[in-house]
Homo-oligomer: A and B are copies of this chain.
Amino acid sequence: MDQRITMVTLGVRDLARSRRFYELLGWTAREASGGDIVFFQLQGSVMGLYPRPALAEDAALHDDAPNAQFGGIALAYNARDKAEVDRVLVEAKGAGAKILKPAQDVFWGGYSGYFADLDGHPWEVAFNPHWPLEADGSLKMKRG
């Protein structure tokens, strides 16, 4: 597993309102085609806003008392191909992580799984064919 975080996704209650908050701070957002996720290009990585129940569900985590397991933020590690996704999940499990969701083909055209680290912080491990990484592991979203 290379030393990078590709995306930090914040679970939000009201996507439009939270988007507007960051825009008021001077940030420029980009929507995915479906309009149900908002991206902000950072220096080398991306911050996402995504409805919190959907984010918890994506990570296969409960978000309701008394069994809440989700802190509201998911980290993502983008891999260069599907084989790297599989490899990282095996490594993570070997290091003591809990596999929350085995790697699988996903609706947005990629391949993704989740592990939780020793403190329960969820990491998505994903290959996104639309998002090739730079040589240094940075993610620069294309315009358009």
A interface with B by C-beta (< 8 Å): 1-5, 8, 10-14, 17-18, 21-22, 24-28, 40-45, 47, 52, 70-73, 75, 88, 91-92, 94-97, 117-121, 136-138
Q: Which of B4, B72, B94 contacts A121 (CB 8 A)?
A: B72
| Number of identical monomers bound together in the oligomeric complex | 2
Are B21 and A117 in touch, CB under 8 angstroms?
yes
CA distance A18 to B1 in the complex (A): 16
Contacts of A28 in B (CB 8 A): 3
CA distance A40 to B137 in the complex (A): 15
Contacts of A10 in B (CB 8 A): 117, 119, 121
Nearest Cβ distance between residue A38 and chain B, in whole angstroms? 13
Q: Considering only CB atoms, which chain B residue lies closest to A18 in the complex?
A: B118
Further pairs besides A1-B26, A10-B121, A11-B119: 7, Cβ < 8 Å = A2-B26, A8-B75, A10-B119, A17-B118, A42-B45, A43-B136, A72-B73
- With A45-B5, A91-B25: A119-B71 Cβ-Cβ less than 8 Å: no
Are A21 and B118 in touch, CB under 8 angstroms?
yes
- With A11-B119, A121-B73: A96-B43 Cβ-Cβ less than 8 Å: no
